[in-house]
Structure 1
Amino acid sequence: MRFDVLTLFPEMFSGYMSQSILSKAIEREQVSVHVHNIRDWTKDRHHKVDDRPFGGGPGMILMVEPVVNCVRDVQAMSEEPGLVILTTPQGKRLNQPLCEDLASDHKRFIVLCGRYEGFDQRVIDILQPMEISIGDYVLNGGEVASMVLVDSLVRLVPGVLGDDLSSWDDSFSRGNRILEYPQYTRPRTFEGHDVPEVLLSGDHGAIEAWRKAKSLENTKQKRSDLLE
């Protein structure tokens, strides 16, 4: 799976890409992440990418020309066509079923990170990106949202987690569309809190039944909307 991330702040991704599961997936060539600076597609010596909005109003708008040219050139960098995604509060809400659909239907993603007051509308009109939101709130830019998107898709690439069943029973996932059951590890007892005996019994049928019951109980208590 390949990601091309288009941003005004490429330095934000260096630490993220060098840690944990993503770093290992990149080393094993299961995933590649390429970060591109939109300013490289400007034509003036100041690398100007934004301007005031027509009609007035606060803030600055990302200009159409450098963004569209950047996407087109990046699209041509690989024979695999990339799905263009724009991170925006106005987009479709990112959830686990959507992540699973994206991961199964596409091998390459071109992710546009917004800034300031957003993109000139013609960016959307011309490129027709999939618009995705990670929630009903506003961030300073789309970089963090793009990291969320990358992280949620990378873990669905076969082999990245080591055991492909690792993600099967996660909350909202294919094997469990509600919340996950509680998990425990050593020690068996800590400050009067014990690991449930059923998990120590070796009875796989009883353990499975306990997990299903606890998953449902968790969901009723914390996210009852998932049961509607």
Structure 2
Amino acid sequence: MLKFNILTLFPEVFPGILQHGLLGKALSKNHFEINTINIRDYSDLSANSVDDKPFSGGAGMVLRPDIISKSIEANFNKNELDSCIKICFSAKGKKLTQKKLTNYNLNKDFILLNGRYEGIDQRVIDYYEFQEISVSDVILNGGEIASLLFIEALMRLQPGVLGNNDTHTIESFQNGLVEHDQFTRPNPWITPDHSEIEVPSILVSGKHADIDLWKHQNSLENTEKNRPDLFKNYLKKNKNE
């Protein structure tokens, strides 16, 4: 069973959305486990303070390395620390991609360090050799949402979690492109202004080869329009496209 050890100031956030849907079923069937560790429990400062002003000046507060270290040392021995995959979510970290997710060893447990305020003292990140990971080019108030995102994205790759094990192989990013558009019943759809919008006719034609071609072409168009960075990389790898 895969275990996620989460260092956080807000343990009540977890499991959150992970207890619903397919991930909730996987959690109840012990496909994975969430163990939260409240960093604040290891503070011996007044009012259980966990942060202090940055030496570099500027706004915000920085989580103290000594308190984070105490929360780690109290819960993990050396062998556990050496064997776990340790991740700290940070806007300055390496960008998380679907390809990187597939490279993680799902036979190892994880330690996920969630920052707050201005960030985490770099010394504790370096000392414990945390990988710094960014889930997006946006700034969040803390790492908890990033942790939820990471766990869900990773667990979807775990055999037996999705209803159809082939699902993740045909989704966005798996082949370097974003996914094609999706449609379902009714067909046509009657809009609030009484217009009729039909799905692309090829999708209801029953011609599977043509449908596959449409999906690939639509995927290319979506990638070029919404993710030109991915489209450029795809063209480099597929010069005959």
TM, length-normalised to structure 1: 0.89
Q: Which residue of 1 aligns with 2:92?
A: 90
Q: How does 1:65-214 map to 2 (within 5 A)?
A: 65-76=66-77, 81-102=83-104, 104=105, 107-173=108-174, 176-191=175-190, 192-214=196-218
Q: Which residue of 2 aligns with 1:215?
A: 219
The answer to whether 1:31 aligns with 2:50 is no
What per-residue deviation string (whole Å, max 9, x for no partner) do you get for residues 178-215 of structure 1?
Answer: 01111111112113211223222222222211211111
**Local SS of the residue matching 1:208:** helix
The amino acid across from 1:226 in the alignment is: L
Aligned-partner Cα distance in 2 for 1:168–1:77: 37
Aligned length: 225
CA contact (8 A) 1:85 1:131 kept: yes
What per-residue deviation string (whole Å, max 9, x for no partner) do you get for residues 128-184 of structure 1?
Answer: 1000011222211111111111111111111111211111111112xx220111111
| Alpha carbons of structure 1 residues 205 and 10: separation in structure 2 relative to 1, 3 Å | same
The more displaced of 193-202 and 137-146 is: 193-202
Identity within the alignment, %: 40
| Alpha carbons of structure 1 residues 124 and 190: separation in structure 2 relative to 1, 3 Å | same
CA contact (8 A) 2:106 2:158 kept: no
Kindly state the Cα deviation for residue 90 of structure 1 after the two structures are TM-superposed: 0.8
Aligned-partner Cα distance in 2 for 1:79–1:163: 33
**Structure 1 residue ranges without an equivalent (≥5):** none
When the two chains are superposed, the root-mean-square deviation of aligned CA atoms in Å is 2.1
Which structure 1 residue ranges, 4+ long, deviate > 6 Å from structure 2? none
The amino acid across from 1:195 in the alignment is: V
| Alpha carbons of structure 1 residues 217 and 37: separation in structure 2 relative to 1, 3 Å | same
The amino acid across from 1:193 in the alignment is: I
CA contact (8 A) 2:18 2:148 kept: no
